[in-house]
């Protein structure tokens, strides 16, 4: 049974690998990333957010899913760990592409604006499509509102801070660069071989 946050993240990643039918190996890179993130989470220093950036296929979504599963497990054992900086670990996991759909945008925003922990996966994937401008504007506003309320946000993206500044504005880029823990992912932790760029 995992005893630390680091061990718990590795456990959740391993479980994710088994669900995918993959032979999971805890690579040195993965262990280092999990350790760094676990240390950042347990110190309570980064109460505003975490940004996972890197090429497509580098394992960012895997880490996001592992953190989401970790939070789900924590809710079953609420006394096992107290997060320094938030009063609740109720969470919502969303894909940035979901912000393109007007039929679900209102419902997402209503919950995402107030929930203590929000995980936004694949930031940037919403910039293509008919409603891309609405999606970008909604996400920018959401990040700023959550920062103003002191709510914890996890974001994964293939973008660097400069690209985030160009697309989502200077305010969003400043919030992230000055207040988030930024973790760069180099290569995929589940697949052997090189990372790849999204077509």
The answer to whether 96 touches 125, Cβ cutoff 8 Å, is yes
Flag whether 76 is in a domain.
yes
Owning domain of residue 43: 5-185
Helix (H) or strand (E) holding 156: strand 152-157
3-state secondary structure of 133: helix
Q: What confidence category does residue 51 fall into, taking pLDDT thresholds of 50, 70 and 90?
A: very high
Flag whether 199 is in a domain.
no
Flag whether 197 is in a domain.
no
Domain at 138, CATH number: 3.40.50.300
- Structural domain tally of the chain? 1
pLDDT digits (tens, 9 = 90+) for 156-189: 999 999 999 999 999 999 999 999 999 898 765 4
Flag whether 112 is in a domain.
yes
Flag whether 138 is in a domain.
yes
């Amino acid at each position: 049974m995992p005893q630390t946050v680091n061990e718990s993240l590795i456990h959740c990643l391993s479980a994710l690998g088994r669900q995918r039918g993959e032979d999971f190996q805890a690579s040195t890179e993965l262990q280092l990333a999990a350790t760094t993130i676990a240390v950042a989470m347990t110190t309570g220093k980064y109460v505003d957010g975490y940004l996972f950036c890197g090429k497509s296929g580098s394992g960012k979504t895997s880490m996001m899913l592992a953190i989401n599963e970790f939070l789900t497990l924590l809710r079953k054992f609420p006394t096992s760990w107290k997060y320094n900086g938030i009063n609740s670990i109720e969470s919502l996991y969303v894909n940035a592409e979901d912000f393109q759909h007007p039929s679900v945008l209102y419902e997402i925003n209503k919950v995402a604006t107030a929930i203590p922990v929000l995980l936004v996966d694949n930031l940037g994937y919403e910039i293509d499509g008919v409603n891309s401008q609405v999606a970008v504007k909604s996400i920018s506003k959401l990040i700023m509102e959550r920062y103003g309320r002191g709510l914890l946000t996890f974001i994964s993206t293939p973008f660097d801070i400069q690209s985030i500044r160009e697309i989502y504005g200077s305010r969003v880029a400043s919030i992230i660069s000055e207040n988030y823990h930024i973790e760069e992912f180099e290569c995929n932790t589940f697949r052997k071989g090189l990372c790849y760029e999204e077509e």
